[in-house]
Amino acid sequence: MSYFNQILFKKLFILLILLCGVKNIAQVTLTEEKWNLPTYKVAPGENAPIFFSNESFQGARREIYPYALNDVISHEKVQKDWKVLKLENKYIELGITPEIGGKIYYATDKTNGYNFVYKNNEVKPANIGMTGAWVSGGIEWCVLHHHRASTFLPMDYSLKENEDGSKTIFIGETEPRHRMRWNVAVTLSPNKSYFEAELTIYNPTPYTNTFLNWANVATHVNENYQTIFPPSVQVATYHSKNQFTRWPISTEVFRDQDFTKGVDVSWWKNVKENASFFAWDLKEDFMGGYDHGKQSGTIHIGDHNIIKGAKLWEWGSGVTGQNTEARLTETSGPYVEIMVGAFSDNQPDYTWIRPFETKTWKQYWYPVRDIEGFKNANINAAVNFERREGNKVLLGYYSTQEVKKARILLRKGVEVIFQKDIEISPKKSFKEFITISKTEDLTNYSTELLDVNTNEIIIAYQPKKLEPIGKLPVPLERPKSPEEISSVEELFLTGNRMEQFYKYPDDYYDEVLKRDALDTRTNTAIGNRYLKNGDYQRAREYFSKAINRLTNDYNRPPTGEALYLQGVTLKALDLEEEAIDTLYRASWDYAYYSAAFFELAQISSAQKKYGKALEQINESLSTNMKNNRAVGLKASLQRKMNDFKGAQETVEIALQKDPLDFRLVNESYLIAKESGNTKNAQNELTSLTKKMRNFDQNYLELAVAYLNDGMFDEANAILLQYQGDSPIIIYFLGYIQDYFGNKKEAKQLFLTASNLSEASHFPFRLETIKALEKAISYNEKDGRAYYYLGNILYNKQPDLAISYWEKAITYSPQLAMAYRNLGWGYYRHQENVAKAIPFYEKAIALNNEEAIFYAELDKLYELNNSPVGKRMGIFEGNNTVVRERDDAFVSQIKVLTLAGKSDLAVAFLKGKEFSFREGNSRVREIIMDAQLTLGLDYFEKKDYQKALDHFLLAQVPDEEAGSARSGNRNFQVNYFIGLAYKALENKTEAEKFFKKATVQDKPDKRRKSIVSGFMSYYQGMSYLKLGNKEKANAIFNALVEQGNTELNNNGDETSDYFQIFGGKEEESTRKSMAFTTRGLGNKGLSKKRLAAEDLKQATVLSTSNLWAKIELEEKY
């Protein structure tokens, strides 16, 4: 080789290395790693099923079943390995934890190390999720419901490398409560500082459902942090839109916080208590937040026509908020949540999704730096333009990609007054201060960033003049009662809204039918509810009424909804000929064309008429190509007709969008297997097995889908692949063997299933009923089959469920959980506390290892006004078990305190740590009660120092966990401390605490009364001790007035339509509190006889009313 050629070769070689290096730097890496993180353990989910108990969660129904309650959180910290799926390019890095709900656990700007999505250094769960455990930080996918039920459960996932060099992580699940499917495809591209999240919600059921969707994005905050809504946002609202305030400068009392002097609530430091601010009437495609100290922030981009919601949530920068945040992390600091909602602008705010409908949208997040905030943003860049001191304006640009030749322009009108050519990238922002006239309105200026090479405008911004907000929007009010609504249409719409938001529509629908028994909308809506609940005969009746009116005088109905739903009902009743006729008529309505033909194809497939089924499924897909259930059925039909090439093409197209659709992956396996491609078949089976992660519900969902298509061989093969002991899977295997005619095998499988433990197995599919009924036809004494039938049906048809549980204990008298479930049903559904109690007692007699039994039974004892001694009896000898659950332990401490054994209660409390529970303050209550009552015991004995010691220990810090029902407990604690100091003749300290007892920690300016509960009595008493009788009497009179008001109200009027957490208060408890309030008011006014009568009545109504009892006994 000549010298010249050697030199040329070396240069080419070096150039190749450099080019490869550039490519390597620019590429996206996707890795699956194990991270070892400090972790607080969560106990395995409860063995007991938790059915609906009329509780609210985040403003909607708290329905836990068929999930397991996972709210027992240990205070033991361990090091634990967590799987992390990591995406990284040269600008940003992010990690997804599929075992923690599939959340984006963190995202980091590599150019400066800033975590633009909050990274929690510890996995420290708290009871904030729908089922319990929830971890702060990251981006939580709040799908279907806020803080969804599976937020702390493992998710399905898949990894994909794309042709353009980008890489994608798919996360998803089929959610069991609604059997709807969702997935998120998180994609990172080379040379971009943003990541994309494409979200899909798919309703693979024949029912109309509703859903909520919010991406819950946490960011690190401090005194310099500001949440940024677009400049056009001038108003913010609260949950349910029941309050409004101006934004960003609030001049209202908003959620008990006084901003009337004008407070910029966009800054974290200025909002001391927890608050939610939802942007009102979002008109732009961006929002985010900015740390002005670190000069870094976070931007979200999404089409505001779809992503209508932008929300700021914060615990608050005050003491109580920070007490709470300390329970959620140890080293990661405070955070805010800058959430974004798709098809929703509030919480709760649910959107309808029709049968087999798919909704898909894209969102983007990226870091921003060094531009002091932003006024406009898109996927390419962000811009800031705002006035500074004197005649200066700040102009700043951030770009999500490198632009080597960019040009910045600033115009006044059409005149360019500033121009600069720059190189800009995620590493290098632009910021400059420019001189303009001091008096010039910024709306006269516009600015833009251009790519010089393409002459494309990357981003532009011109400030707009905003008209001042006059009156704020009218807050949403609680709906009128049905009788108050004159219009039948408004009645229906109100009921429909209630149903949409997972509240009770029955009263409104019933009132419609009283006035018009054949109202088509209402009969269809009620029929749909019965259909979803598996009550097919009643559903059929209501659909028939609607259809009769719609088709009166031989009319063709304007909507096919009732016909379609009736067809689905008839199909479920195995009335196939009637179903076919009805579904074809429903298909005449374009809105139900696809859904009707899908149902028809299923019928034909089950009848083995594969050619006809294929024609019908093609018709279904002709108007809804996004229905993956139809795609999967089509592939199966093509495979069965030996069209392997066509089947594979069908599958591959759909798998591009959802590689976690197990039906499609299984079809790929079966196509390869049946076409003789053994190697591909093994690869596809390995892929399927990994994706399904041996999760029993994945196998059941896939098998049931095949069964619904009449494909029993495929269903059987799928269920046999599951590695584990699932009684429901084995019941299905028995059902399938019976279908095959293998009676002996079916009998043995049913026997095996009936002998497996029922603990933590919560069946929910209506299709399971047929399998269990078949098992009972083999063995009518299969108690567990009846037990499971009751579980499936309790939230749907409670009377029938209870009858099944009654059969369960007849045939399996040792089945403790069935007794417990009967206790639940007799109390919750039949509202018969006395009837429920012995069944709980029997459950504990059979199995005293379930801590939740004690909490549930003690609640019944309390409602039944059972003697305190009897209540104590269930806890004796069971301390170890009871201590496992906070609610059971709280009940025990409460009973001990009521029984006058405060010393024992305080002893038991030593060393006990409780997990944080949002919306619940009982833990703080029982600690204070135990310490105060023990202090009063010493006070009565004139041992004032010991009394003081315990009164001081009652100073339990408050958290943002909900208010005490009785009012501000600090009034009471400080009053008793003052009494102790007075008894010890320490006048200075006594006066200090009496003064503290008069201070309202969180004044509520919206409240008409000066009192908030009977604890205000101790505020009044403190005023008396300070010699201010006028203020004291004002409080006492207000207590009497409040008590009278509450006694004159009924429970329905006092229940809160906008309640976010908890359930409706029992009537006896509510009235007992009302008598206590009035009684203490009278006591303060020295009306001793009236006070004694009221306090006595309070204790008669509730033997658990501790402070009515103490004040009646006058122990101090």
Q: What is the pLDDT of residues 151-161, one digit of tens each?
A: 999 999 999 99
Angle CA(857)–CA(860)–CA(861) in degrees, nearest 5? 90
899: burial class by Cβ within 10 Å (0-12, 13-18, 19+)? middle
Asked whether residue 1006 carries a pLDDT value surpassing 60, the answer given is: no
C-alpha span between 361 and 354 (Å, rounded): 17
pLDDT (average), residues 17-24: 43
Please answer whether residues 396 and 384 qualify as being in contact, where contact means their C-beta atoms are separated by less than 8 angstroms. yes
pLDDT above 70 covers what percent of the chain?
94
DSSP 813-848: TT-HHHHHHHHHHHHHTT--HHHHHHHHHHHHHH-T
Taken in order of first residue, the domains within the chain and their CATH numbers are: 23-368 (2.70.98.10), 370-461 (2.60.40.1920), 517-622 (1.25.40.10), 916-1054+1063-1113 (1.25.40)
Instruction: Please indicate, yes or no, whether the overall pTM of this predicted structure exceeds 0.85.
Output: yes
pLDDT above 90 covers what percent of the chain?
89
Looking at residue 601, its pLDDT comes to 99
Q: Strand order of the sheet with strand 1061-1063?
A: 60-61, 55-57, 1061-1063
pLDDT band at 11 (very low <50, low <70, confident <90, very high): very low
Hey, CA dihedral for 1087, 1091, 1094, 1100, is it positive or negative? negative
pLDDT tens per residue across span 845-870: 999 999 999 999 999 999 999 999 99
pLDDT tens per residue across span 1043-1070: 999 999 875 543 456 665 555 568 889 9
Looking at residue 761, its pLDDT comes to 98
pLDDT tens per residue across span 1063-1111: 556 888 999 999 999 999 999 999 999 999 999 999 999 999 999 999 9
SS3 952: helix
Looking at residue 960, its pLDDT comes to 46
pLDDT band at 519 (very low <50, low <70, confident <90, very high): very high
pLDDT tens per residue across span 568-588: 999 999 999 999 999 999 999
SS3 442: helix
C-alpha span between 656 and 91 (Å, rounded): 27
Strand intervals (E) in 8-147: 29-42, 55-57, 60-61, 73-88, 92-97, 103-109, 114-117, 126-127, 133-134, 139-144
Which helix (DSSP H) or strand (DSSP E) does residue 170 occupy? strand 167-175
C-alpha span between 190 and 298 (Å, rounded): 20
Looking at residue 916, its pLDDT comes to 78
C-alpha span between 297 and 374 (Å, rounded): 10
Pairing of strands 209-220, 376-377: unpaired
pLDDT tens per residue across span 82-130: 999 999 999 999 999 999 999 999 999 999 999 999 999 999 999 999 9
Asked whether residue 282 carries a pLDDT value surpassing 90, the answer given is: yes
Number of C-beta neighbours around residue 194 at 10 A: 21
Closest by Cα among 379, 458, 454, 446 to 416: 446
Looking at residue 174, its pLDDT comes to 97
Asked whether residue 646 carries a pLDDT value surpassing 90, the answer given is: yes
pLDDT band at 687 (very low <50, low <70, confident <90, very high): very high
Please answer whether residues 387 and 438 qualify as being in contact, where contact means their C-beta atoms are separated by less than 8 angstroms. no
CA atoms within 13 Å, Cβ hemisphere of 860: 24
Asked whether residue 430 carries a pLDDT value surpassing 50, the answer given is: yes
Looking at residue 1009, its pLDDT comes to 59
C-alpha span between 759 and 348 (Å, rounded): 33
The residues, any chain, with a CB within 8 Å of residue 907's CB and separated by 6 or more, are none
User: Counting runs of H as helices and runs of E as strands, what totals does the chain give?
Assistant: 38, 38
C-alpha span between 1047 and 1024 (Å, rounded): 27
pLDDT (average), residues 17-28: 53
Least confident of 9-18, 865-874, 912-921: 9-18
Helix axes 767-778, 727-740, angle to 10 degrees: 70
pLDDT (average), residues 917-936: 87
With tokens 């919600």, the residue in question is 201
Token pair in block for residue 916: 């944080």
pLDDT tens per residue across span 221-279: 999 999 999 999 999 999 999 999 999 999 999 998 999 999 999 999 999 999 999 99
Average pLDDT of the residues of the chain: 94
Looking at residue 9, its pLDDT comes to 45
Please answer whether residues 570 and 540 qualify as being in contact, where contact means their C-beta atoms are separated by less than 8 angstroms. yes
pLDDT (average), residues 377-384: 99
Asked whether residue 735 carries a pLDDT value surpassing 60, the answer given is: yes
Q: Strand order of the sheet with strand 225-228?
A: 156-161, 167-175, 180-188, 195-202, 358-369, 296-301, 286-291, 225-228
Asked whether residue 920 carries a pLDDT value surpassing 80, the answer given is: no
Asked whether residue 611 carries a pLDDT value surpassing 90, the answer given is: yes
Query: Which tops the pLDDT comparison, 748 or 58?
Result: 748
Strand intervals (E) in 614-716: none
pLDDT tens per residue across span 204-215: 999 999 999 999
